[in-house]
Structures are given as structure tokens and as C-alpha cells.
Structure 1
Amino acid sequence: MRPTEQHLVPVRPALFDAFPCPRCGATDVHAEGTFFPGIHILGRYGCASCGAKFLRDLPVGFANDHPLAIMEEDGKVIHGPEAPSWLVHPFTEHAGRISEDPVRIERIIHREVRTAIVLNTLDFLYGHVLLKIYNAQHYLDHHPEHGLVMIVPRMFAWLVPRTCAEVWVVDLGLGRSRTWYRAMDDFVQAQLGRFDTVLLGRAYSHPDFAKVDIERFTGVAPFAHAHMPDRPLHVTFVARTDRIWTTTRLSKFLYRAMGRLFGRRAAQGPFHALQERAIRRSIRRIRRKEPDATFSIVGLAPSGRSSMGVEDLRTLHMDERMEKVWCAAYARSHVVVGVHGSNMLLPTAHAGACVEILPHDREENIVQDISVRVADRRQLFLYRFLDEFAKPRDIARVVHAIHVHYAQFHRNHVGNIF
């Protein structure tokens, strides 16, 4: 069956089958069922021309662009030439070994529905899960005739919008999510029969952030850009311990060399101290320009020292309360500062602007981790990217410029135009 709506994939009563056979290329493929082992949602198919039997990704998540298939007769995995290795290797590793481990899944029903859109947000990377969750708003707003059913890891359950029809909360950590679980499929198959119609949300990896109302997910209203000029500057630093801000080529070389020789954790200690010094120097330089500025520091790390005007919110123990404390800090912030990564998605969804330190080996991923809140020319003004060897003086200069020049930029490029 072909999709009747671009952003939905049919599952029940008729399963999507609008693609050629991966072995012979014939188009007379017939659907035989579905398989929901975890991250991947697959259809079971047969080819009337060559007789092949295979499982193939349904076009959701990264399979929108890179669908993978596995032939039942020999277990061969078939994929396009552009499919990334980080997607192919886990699929190949786990496709032939279905885990019999139990998986606890909690079903939360807010209202009973007969037609459902199932949005699967499971993934093995934090940012991927969060980006898929953002898709919920589109289906809630544009398809109110269907009930939205979200499949989420437990650590993300706090982000599920309250207007969803159901939530299937899966007790799997990110590290265990690559595995294919028979228990997961058994649970989903038992639920699908409750609905007359089942469609899949596409779970796009890069939704239009400017359309996302983050308060519907976190319960925290974002920074209002109207207050950018008239409030004393507040800046939040997002301090990662697994991707360090190295201000020189030598420190980056030593950090990576120590990581290879002694393990990443052994290398983090001394270089975490260097990053801490860079953050404190940035704060001092910003204060020279704006004495009334205040600051927050967040990150999965031992809490440091809080001082006058600097609130240290780092912790090693995250829970829903702490997630919201961090979001509140972002929402007070004119600017958030941090190294590129999924750690920047929620900060930029709430803050007024950002300064991101972009490692050279992440340049192809630029903007993927930024929840760009505006759709006009302010995108170029509010979202700044600095070289991975940026110095504290560079951070201070750009943060200050965003704060003091925003009103003029807004007047010239947003206010005084047709």
C-alpha cells in the first residue's frame, strides 16, 4: 500500500509496500506482516517474481533515507551505497540474533482511540531520541482525528506532551537499545490489534525547530526575545566531560593521546580542569564588559563551586526535577555556550541565542544539534559557531555582541522590512 499522506506510513489494515524487491528489483512485492524489535520497525515481505522473503525497514527515522533489508534465506543485509556505517553495522550485528531478554514496557492510556499514529522514538543516542520526540507536535496539530501513541525510553517520558492518546514507556537504557528484542515485538503486536487503523509517524531526524513549541514538551517557557535588550545578561555554559573544550591544538592532541593510551576516563580529569579554567576565564571577560551579568553552569559532572552570580548546577544524578531545573536555567539565558553535540538541543530550544564551539571533525554536522527558534534573518545573528580552539576572549566578545547589538539588528532586519 502506498502512503495517502506524505508524513504517515500505513501499517493496518494494509501495510506499506511501495518499493521494489531488494534482490531482483521487481515491484510486485506483497506484505506479510510487521516486526517491531526496537529502534527499527520492519515489514515482512515476499516477492512474487523471484520468490525472495525478506524483512525491510519501514520508512521511519533514519530509514526515511537509508532503508535496510535482510534476506530471510541467508541473512544477507542489503542497503544503498550511501547508508552510513553507524546505521548499517548495528543492524547487521543484531538482525540475526534476536534477544530473548525480557523488556519491561509500561502502557499509559490517556484516552481510548480506534485510529492511531505510532511514533517510535527509541534510539541508542540521546540526541536522536529527542529529535524524534519533537515530531509529536506535528501529528498532534495536523492529525487530531487520530490518537498519537508514543514509544519512548523511560528517561524521556517526562517530555511526552500531555495530549497524546497513549505512551508506551520502555525500560531500556540507550546502551541496550541497539539490540533486537522479541519481547518488544510481542508487546507491540498485542497492542496493534486494539486499533482499526494504525499509521506510523515518520520520526524525522531534523524537524523544523522554528515550529516546535518546546513548552509543550518540557513545561518550561523559553526565553522571550523581546527581553533580550532590557534584562541583565545571563549566560549558561554547557560543560561536557566526554567532549572537552580544548583551546589549543596541543591540548587536543594530548587529550586524544591520553585517551588512547590510558582510556577516556583517565584523560578527562586533567582536561576537565583545563575546560573549567576556560569557562571561568570566559566569565571574567564577559563581566569586564557587562558587570551585572550572571551565569549558570550545567553538565553531567561533579558540582563545582558556586560563587556570586555563578550558579553551578552540574550533577552526576539526573532525574525529572533536575531536567526541569536545567531547562529553567536555559530559559533565563540570553545565550548558552557549549561544545557541539546533542547536549545543545534542549539549551538552544529554551535560550535566546547560542555560541557553539564546533570541532573540526563535526563540521559536516553543523546545526544538527541546534534547536533554531526563529525562521527569519535572526538565525544568522543568534546562532554563532566558533572554531574548536576558540579562546575565552572570543567567547566573551561574541556573547557580548549578541546582547548589546540585538535591538539594532532586530530593528533593521525584522522590524523595518516589508
Structure 2
Amino acid sequence: HTLPIEHTNMFPVEVSCNGSHPTYSEVSKIWLAEPLIHALTSDHEEEVNVTVERKKEHDKIIILNCLDSCYGHALDKLFNIQRHLDHHAHLGLVVIIQSSMRNLVPEGVSEIWELDTPFKTFEHRIKGFDQLVKTRVLESKEAYLSRADMNLDYSLLRIPLFVKHNPLRFDKLYEYPARITFILREDRFWLTNKVNHFLYLVARKLGQLSLIKFYFIILQNRNFRKLAKLLVKQYPDLQITAIGIGSPGGMNRYVQDLREPYQEYRMHEDERYRLYSESHLIFGVHGSHMILPSALAGAFISLHQDFKIPHFSEDFIPRHSNPQRQAFLGRFLSDRNSPKAIASHIKNLFGALYSMEKTKF
């Protein structure tokens, strides 16, 4: 029986040791219950290097497990550090993370356990990891396990604590030349055509996406090129940057293309956060690591695919206490929107900022 922590606080799972008699919510079947049961009952174990960094010695600890096969879920778990530093300062905080998130861990934690492996590895058991945790618990005088709450109130989140940069101030949106940052990945695509959408879903379903993704990359790059050309025509001094995991190329002269392969991408995290915090607007497809950029940039436009509608609001962090300002500066649109339609949204956003100046009652 799962402990009341993380997502299993809302969606508990029960199963016999041999995998029989499973009990779980149908809502959590595909993304939580079935993968968990498979990991528990499978003989497969992953070999992963674990690096333990002890910053402070504590005999009373609280363990925060931030491991998850989904980056967004892992990030929410990581944000629990703020609560523990604020309210459990008497305990040593042990944070367990995937290696690419190491730079997000703020000062004040006692230990960092870093696992250098892809996120998808955490769909399986990690060889020897259970014993590592038990050994650390037995070394301590008192040991607690964090609830790792997933339903966080983002309005209380102090983003600079994690990314070391302040979000762009609202009044900076009036300063020109403006900067727009495109966020691209080679496994999330902006496809405006129904036929291409259908082809993408079929390839994804059959596990053949890698064979034809070059075609979708060409289409996506073309859409971003068109958008950049339309925007520069409207704003000649506009600065446009493309950031993401992938190979640079396929853009036009209006775009500074800073895309990188994954290994290089990991090394320049702080520079990306700086660019996001200087961006008037970020633009990308849902699932392209838009969460932290949305908390740093002045505004964002997130494109969602139809099958992502149930999750469209999970890929951002709200910045503004004024609901109208947040709705104006944070837009969720279908990926069927053409470059021309997106350009119209951006023109409206930059041209009607004055309407967001509100007088208090």
C-alpha cells in the first residue's frame, strides 16, 4: 500500500506482492498505478550512480524524494524545499534529485543525493537504492519522510530561491527593443495541419516517431520562421532567440538559434534562466519545459495539442495576483493556430499593455 505522499496521497495504490488484486483509481491507471505496479513486480533493476553531497551534519533529518519520470512532477516535488526550509529548519533536509536539477537546489539543505540518469529510468527500480535510504535512516536519531505535496499554491512560491534570477518586472514590458524567446524541442511539435496531426498521433501510437520526426521538425521550423518574419516586420528592432534541446538550424536571419544537444543543454542552465528573465515574451508548445520560463518572462503563449487539453494548465507558473493581468499575459492556445494568428496575439499583447494598468478599489 502506497504511503500518503506525492500523487499517491490523492490516488493510493494497493497490490499484492505477486501483482494480483490491484486496487487504484481509474484516473491514475495509465500514468501512475500501472507503471508503479509493473516496477514493483518486475525483476528488472536499473544500475544508477548515486552521488551523495553532505553539506551539514544532522542527526534529525527529513527526506524529500524528488525522483519522477516526469520533469514537471519532479519540479513540483523540488519546490517543497521552500516549505521545509521555512518550517522545518530544525531538521536536516535530505534532497534526492535527478542530476539535471542539481542547480535548482537552493542553499540551506543538508544533503543532496544526485542520480545521474535520464528521467525515464525512474519508471523502474534502482538497484541498491532501497538499502541506501534504509542505511541513512538508521544512521539518524530521527527520520521523517516529506509528503512532497503536489497541489502547491504557486502564488507563495519564491522563484529566485531556486533559479537565482528575478522575474521580469511588469513595467519592463514597456521598454524596447523587446525580446521574444522561442522554446523548441524535437519531440514537441507545432503542427497546424489536421493531416500532420493525425500522422503524428499514428507514429506516436506505433512507437515509430523517431523514423519520421525529421519531417515534423522541418514543419515546425517553417512555422517559427514565418512567425519571426511577421514579428520583425511589425517590430524591426525585435530580438528573437530560439532555445531548446535539439540541433540548431532551419531558422532565418531574424532568429538567434541557441538550441543544443541534451548534454550541452544541461551545462548552460543559468544562462537560459537569465535570458528568460529578460524576455518580454516566451512562446512554445506545451511540454517544452515552459514551467520555469513562464515564471521568469513578462508574458507567455503556450500551444497545446488536443490530447493535452486535460493538462493545459500544468505547464506554467502564474506570476500576477491580478487575474485579468495574468489572463492577458499568459495565453493558452491550440497548436492549430497559424503563425499569422500567433503574430496577431503578440501584437495585441504588446499594443494593449496600457489596458492592464488597474486602479485599486
State the TM-score, normalized to the length of structure 2: 0.91
Show CA shifts across 1:105-150 (max 9, x none).
2211111123222110101122221221122112212322222211
Is contact 1:236–1:297 with CA below 8 Å preserved after alignment?
yes
State the secondary structure of the residue aligned to 1:280. helix
Is contact 1:286–1:397 with CA below 8 Å preserved after alignment?
no
Structure 1 residues 67 and 297 mapped into 2: Cα distance closer, same or farther (>3 Å)? same
How is 1:145-294 mapped onto 2 (pairs within 5 angstroms)? Answer: 145-257=90-202, 263-294=208-239
Structure 1 residues 235 and 176 mapped into 2: Cα distance closer, same or farther (>3 Å)? same
Select 2:270's aligned residue among 324, 327, 346. 324
Select 2:16's aligned residue among 71, 74, 77. 71
Show CA shifts across 1:262-315 (max 9, x none).
921222112211111111111111122222211111121111267655211101
Structure 1 residues 117 and 374 mapped into 2: Cα distance closer, same or farther (>3 Å)? farther
Q: Partner of 2:298 in structure 1?
A: 352
Is contact 1:57–1:67 with CA below 8 Å preserved after alignment?
yes
Select 1:334's aligned residue among 280, 287, 300. 280
How is 1:353-368 mapped onto 2 (pairs within 5 angstroms)? Answer: 353-368=299-314
After superposing the two structures, state which structure 1 stretch, 92-101 or 105-114, moved more. Answer: 92-101
Q: Partner of 2:316 in structure 1?
A: 370
Select 1:403's aligned residue among 319, 342, 350. 350
- The ranges of structure 1 where at least 4 consecutive aligned residues each deviate by more than 6 angstroms after the TM superposition are none
Q: Residue type matched to 2:173 in 1?
A: M
Show CA shifts across 1:318-377 (max 9, x none).
354322222222112111111111521122122111111111111111210111122322
Q: Partner of 2:360 in structure 1?
A: 417
Q: Residue type matched to 2:317 in 1?
A: S
Structure 1 residues 72 and 268 mapped into 2: Cα distance closer, same or farther (>3 Å)? closer
Measured in 2, the distance between the counterparts of 1:361 and 1:73 equals 34
Measured in 2, the distance between the counterparts of 1:197 and 1:243 equals 45
Gaps of 5+ in 2: none
Measured in 2, the distance between the counterparts of 1:72 and 1:261 equals 31
Is contact 1:229–1:404 with CA below 8 Å preserved after alignment?
no
State the secondary structure of the residue aligned to 1:318. helix
State the secondary structure of the residue aligned to 2:161. helix
Q: Partner of 1:28 in structure 2?
A: none
State the TM-score, normalized to the length of structure 1: 0.80
Structure 1 residues 75 and 251 mapped into 2: Cα distance closer, same or farther (>3 Å)? closer
Q: Partner of 1:89 in structure 2?
A: 34
Is contact 2:77–2:148 with CA below 8 Å preserved after alignment?
yes
State the secondary structure of the residue aligned to 2:125. coil
Structure 1 residues 357 and 331 mapped into 2: Cα distance closer, same or farther (>3 Å)? same
Measured in 1, the distance between the counterparts of 2:303 and 2:74 equals 23
Q: Percent same amino acid at aligned positions?
A: 28
Q: Partner of 1:385 in structure 2?
A: 332
Measured in 1, the distance between the counterparts of 2:189 and 2:30 equals 25
Q: Partner of 1:313 in structure 2?
A: 258
RMSD: 2.2
Structure 1 residues 262 and 84 mapped into 2: Cα distance closer, same or farther (>3 Å)? closer
Gaps of 5+ in 1: 1-55
State the secondary structure of the residue aligned to 1:314. coil
Q: Partner of 1:46 in structure 2?
A: none
Show CA shifts across 1:375-405 (max 9, x none).
3222211110112210111111112222232
Structure 1 residues 82 and 234 mapped into 2: Cα distance closer, same or farther (>3 Å)? same
